[in-house]
Amino acid sequence: MQGNIFARLFERVASVPHRNITFVPYGEWFGLYVQALKGAQKSAVTSGGKEELRLARRALDVALLSSVFSQKWTDVMLPNGSSSTTTTAWCQESTEAGWLLPSSTIHRRELLMTSFLVEPLLAGRAIASWTAAVRKGDAFPATAGEGAAAHGEAPAPTGMVVIPFTALFQLRWEAYLCHSTFSAGGEGKKIPQNSFSLQERSARLTALQSLHHLMELQSDSKRKSRVQFVVWSPVNEFDAVMRVSQVRAGLPEALRSLFSLTHVCEQELVRVAYLAHYFNFATKRTPLTVLAPQMQTAKLHLLGLKNCCAKSQLRFVEEGEQHRTCGDPNGVSLHQQAVSRCGRLARRMSTREENLRNILIP
């Protein structure tokens, strides 16, 4: 790792317990990144130096991403280190920031926040739907889009789900016992780790594993789904945070004081709102929806975000199943089946209660 631009960051990853980067606050990682860039700028920058910086940025992305998803310390991928290669492909794919550019083929973008991912009814159903969409490949093979473009046809409409690295970072911190503190309330309050029950930590770990499986499934799939999933990689997030002054200058006067560098690094709501504003700044106002629980919507509105939703609108697989069900007179939706079963169960319990009353009361 010696000689690498981000050598100090890699050494820090290797030195923390179990190579779990959430033992170190996010703001400290950001500070180390900025210091490394300043050191690189002081040296002479040639074409070879720029290529070295690009490779170093990718290696740092892979190291930090593999850490938040790792189940053992050997899963963390460090340069010239002993580690597994199970997460190499999709981690390297997530380092490309092409999705930050305006695109006419992506009609809907959704940004996840941690509060959404820890809601079982919200995140569980959404992740299951997205995973089914990727598994079935409800569009065409990966080469179909190229063939359509060659014949002058427009590619299939595409939706995109963006998962911020900091959302994964916070999930990891809440899932494992760490001695550091992290703002989980979104209001600047530092919540101790022991405030989460075993069941809550297990739910966060399950969400992490489900997202990891989703990313691996998409990377290994030979078919392109109509919904794409990208991780807002650590380095790209660091770069976004570094431009806080430019983004803040483009906001209304009443909002500028809310987005300080400290608040962006430590508070979830402020950070998600800032990333959404940065996304609009980078993509020239491309439509973006923030997936957040209903209780967080009012707070996000105060931070300048009007397009918030508690339910993902990217339901391509369900729409296809709905069309197939319409052709089947006996077909019913999953919700209708659940309502019917609950009704039968309620009638059965009522009958049992009436029978017991007749037996016990002469």
**238: in domain:** yes
pLDDT > 90: what percent of the chain?
35
Residues 290 and 247 in one domain: yes
What per-residue string of b and e applies to 210-221 under the rule 16 or more CB within 10 Å gives b? bbbebbbbbbee
Residues 326 and 302 in one domain: no
Query: Is the per-residue pLDDT at 138 higher than 60?
Result: no
What is the phi-psi region of residue 331: left when phi exceeds 0, alpha when psi lies from -120 to 50, beta otherwise? beta
**177: in domain:** yes
Residues 300 and 329 in one domain: no
Structure tokens at 187: 């209001």
Residues 187 and 309 in one domain: yes
Residues 176 and 299 in one domain: yes
Final residue of a structural domain among 36, 60, 89: 89
Residues 194 and 222 in one domain: yes
CA 83 to CA 3: how far, in whole Å?
20
Mean pLDDT of 142-160: 52
Residues 267 and 127 in one domain: yes
Residues 281 and 325 in one domain: no
**26: in domain:** yes
**pLDDT score for 299:** 92
The more confidently predicted of residues 333 and 202 is 202
Of residues 46, 34, 43, the one with CA closest to residue 8 = 34
**pLDDT score for 2:** 54
Query: For all residues of the chain together, what is the average pLDDT?
Result: 79
pLDDT band at 191 (very low <50, low <70, confident <90, very high): low
Residues 172 and 63 in one domain: no
Mean pLDDT of 102-125: 83
Query: Is the per-residue pLDDT at 192 higher than 50?
Result: yes
Query: Is the per-residue pLDDT at 142 higher than 50?
Result: no
pLDDT band at 29 (very low <50, low <70, confident <90, very high): very high
**pLDDT score for 24:** 94
Residues forming beta bridges with residue 191, ordered by sequence position: 182
pLDDT band at 145 (very low <50, low <70, confident <90, very high): very low
Residues 189 and 322 in one domain: no
Structure tokens at 10: 């890699």
**pLDDT score for 219:** 84
HSE, side-chain direction, 13 A CA sphere, residue 8: 13
**pLDDT score for 359:** 77
pLDDT band at 197 (very low <50, low <70, confident <90, very high): confident
Query: Is the per-residue pLDDT at 292 higher than 80?
Result: yes
Structure tokens at 343: 């009704």
Query: Is the per-residue pLDDT at 47 higher than 50?
Result: no
Query: Is the per-residue pLDDT at 346 higher than 80?
Result: no
Q: Of 7-21, 51-65, 83-97, 164-178, where does the model show the most confidence?
A: 7-21
Query: Is the per-residue pLDDT at 22 higher than 90?
Result: yes
CB count in 10 Å sphere of residue 267? 22
**2: in domain:** no
Query: Is the per-residue pLDDT at 310 higher than 60?
Result: yes
Final residue of a structural domain among 89, 114, 143: 89
Final residue of a structural domain among 89, 105, 139: 89
**pLDDT score for 252:** 92
CA 67 to CA 21: how far, in whole Å?
6
Residue 220 CA, chain-centre distance (Å), reads 19
Residues 321 and 293 in one domain: no
Q: In what order do the strands lie in the sheet with 289-291?
A: 227-232, 158-164, 106-112, 289-291, 308-309
Mean pLDDT of 116-124: 85
Query: Is the per-residue pLDDT at 277 higher than 90?
Result: yes
What is the end-to-end Cα distance of the chain in Å, rounded? 84
CB count in 10 Å sphere of residue 319? 12
CA 350 to CA 38: how far, in whole Å?
72
Minimum mean pLDDT among 4-13, 78-87, 340-349: which range?
78-87
**234: in domain:** yes
Q: How many folded domains does the chain comprise?
A: 3
Residues 250 and 211 in one domain: yes
pLDDT band at 342 (very low <50, low <70, confident <90, very high): confident
For 83-170, strand residue ranges (E) read: 106-112, 140-141, 158-164
**208: in domain:** yes
Mean pLDDT of 173-191: 62
**362: in domain:** no
**pLDDT score for 265:** 93
**359: in domain:** no
The more confidently predicted of residues 4 and 302 is 302
pTM of the model: 0.78
Minimum mean pLDDT among 82-86, 122-126, 262-266, 286-290: which range?
82-86
Determine the structural domain holding residue 23 and report its residue range.
7-89
Q: If 0-12 CB within 10 Å is exposed, 13-18 middle and 19+ buried, where does residue 175 land?
A: buried
